[in-house]
Structure 1
């Protein structure tokens, strides 16, 4: 006796007790027969019986899937994507009735009705759009709520890398978060997490939201600078993750914004999991509290011989290396320092010697102050 012949009596028993649609009946046995279409199997098992007026399990939900398909198509109309997956929310009573039938007839190892609904919606959507159903790593995910007849769509985040040049002073690197949601995204900030765009972060975010859509932008900075600092040369590298983007390609690699210029902008797989090591080349203008001469400034070359120790308020201790250091004296109480160092050295504290040892003030044995400092290069190792 074939497997099909064995299931016919069980199917007939079920149909005597419960009116089931072709989808729900076929699903109870399709895995045993290694068949992909529940509906065709259900049709075959019911060929000599009258069609159910109203399915006991799904209440003829499968007859209305086109309604939800159109909802999915409308939701996805503003998105670019090549793959998708579907999740569903259904009434608990449907799942309960499905469990009753499966339990009563000891039907194990079969798909639940929710799985079948998402599979069917996936097939219909794929056929209509020619997009790929990808359960593991989809570019967009639908959550179809069959209880309240709504459809939610989320797209996979997109990560970009680039470098920014800042040639105007008085412009912050980081943007303040929305005061209402602390950066999580709410109606007040249009779900962007920020309400103003008056920083490097703000300008780049605004540009990317315009080009790609999306909600929040999360930045990973390779170092930082003061509001008054310039970032010159090839610029400072950064990574940014855009949540829920509508578009997935960017045709520009460089752009001039109001206060910044962005170069080498491209889509990458992900932001770095660990902090990247980098070196910075800086020009710092320094004033001294008493007179200096060129012979005294020669002492600064000793700073390349041993690591600089940096102490944080948290108790953390780190060591940073100075690779090269040059100076240019302006007058008796000011000079400019050109130095290349390991990323993460706090420049102003290095000058004053505030929990940084040895610092400029310590080395010269004169209190020094950093008036401003600019980055000429940021080199990722």
Structure 2
């Protein structure tokens, strides 16, 4: 007796007590027979039975899948993608009836009805769009709610890297979060997490939202600067993750925005998991509380190729190396410092000696203050 002949009595027994559609009936036995189409098997098993009225398990849900397919197509119409995945929400009573049949007739190792609905939607959507189903790493994910007749779509985040040059003073690096949602994204801020676009973060975010769509933008900065600082040379590197983008391809690598210029824009796999090591070349304008002469200023050179210890309020201690240092005297109480150092050294505190040792103030023995400082180069190691 073949496997098919063995299942006929069980199928007939089920059909005597319960009306089942071809999909639900076929699913109960297709794995046992190594068949891929539940519907074809169900049709074969039902050929001698009365026409189906209303499926006991799914209530003829499979007849309405085109309605949900159109919802998926509408949801995805604005998105660029090559792969997709589908999740479904169905009434618990459907799962309960499916479990009753499987338990009553001791049917083991078969797909649940949710799995079958997903397979059918995947098949229909794939055929219509020619896109690839990817369970592990899809570019868009549908959640089809068959219970409430709703479909939501989530797009895989996109990470980009770039460098920005800031040649105007008085422009902040970071943007204040939306006070209503603390940066999570809400209706007040159009789900961006920020209300204004008046910072480096804001301008770059706004540009990317226009080009790629998306909700929030999360930045990973390679160092930071004051509002009054310039960022020159090849610029400061950064990474930005765009949540729920519509497009997945940025055609340009350079953007001249209102206050910043961004170059080397490119899509990358992900932001760095650990902080990147980098060196900065800075020009700092310094004033002193009393007169200094050229001989005293020469003491600054002793800091070159030395290590500076930085103490944080949290109790954390770190060491930063000064690679090179030179100065230019302007008058009795001011000079400019040019120095290259390991990223993460707080420039103003290094000058005043506030929990940084040795600092400029300690080295000269005269209280010093950093009026402003600019970045000429940021070099990632």
Give the TM interval when normalised to the shorter protein.
Answer: over 0.9
Counterpart mapping for 1:160-239 below 5 A: 160-239=160-239
Separation of aligned partners in 2, 1:108 and 1:377: 66
Q: Could you say which residue in structure 2 is the equivalent of 1:55?
A: 55
Kept in 2: contact 1:21–1:51 (CA 8 A): no
Q: Which residue of 1 aligns with 2:264?
A: 264
Q: Within 2, Cα distance between the matches of 1:174 and 1:209?
A: 17
The corresponding residue for 1:26 is: 26
| 1:321 partner SS | strand
Paired with 2:360 and 2:2, the residues of 1 have a C-alpha distance of 89
User: Is the 2:163–2:234 Cα contact (8 Å) retained in structure 1?
Assistant: yes
User: 1:285 — aligned with what?
Assistant: 285
Which residue of 1 is the match for residue 92 of structure 2?
92
Q: Which runs of 5+ in 2 are unaligned?
A: none
RMSD: 0.6
TM-score by length of 1: 0.99
In 1, are the aligned partners of 2:306 and 2:323 still within 8 Å (CA)? no
SS at match of 2:246: coil
Q: By how many angstroms is 1:35 displaced?
A: 1.1
> How far apart are residue 51 of structure 1 and its match?
2.5
Partner of 1:363: 363
1:113 counterpart = 2:113: yes
The runs of at least 4 aligned residues of structure 1 exceeding 2 Å deviation read none
Deviation (angstroms), 1:305: 4.0
2:336 and 2:43 map into 1 onto residues whose CA distance is: 86
The 2-side partners of 1:131 and 1:71 are apart by 16
Listed as ranges, the gaps of 5+ residues in structure 1 are none
| Aligned residue pairs, count | 381
Q: Deviations over 1:225-248 (max 9, x none)?
A: 000000000000000000000000
SS at match of 2:211: helix
- Matched residue, 1:71: 71
SS at match of 2:283: strand
TM-score by length of structure 2 reads 0.99
Superposed CA offset, 1:70-100 (max 9, x none): 0000000000000000000100100000000
What secondary structure is seen at the aligned counterpart in 2 of 1:28?
A: helix
The C-alpha deviation readout for 1:320-350, integer Å capped at 9, x for no partner, is 0000001000001000000000000000000
Distance in 1, matches of 2:117 and 2:131, equals 18
Q: Distance in 2 between matches of 1:341 and 1:81?
A: 43
Is the contact between residue 325 and residue 339 of structure 2 (CA under 8 Å) also seen in structure 1?
yes
Alignment partner of 1:9: what SS?
helix
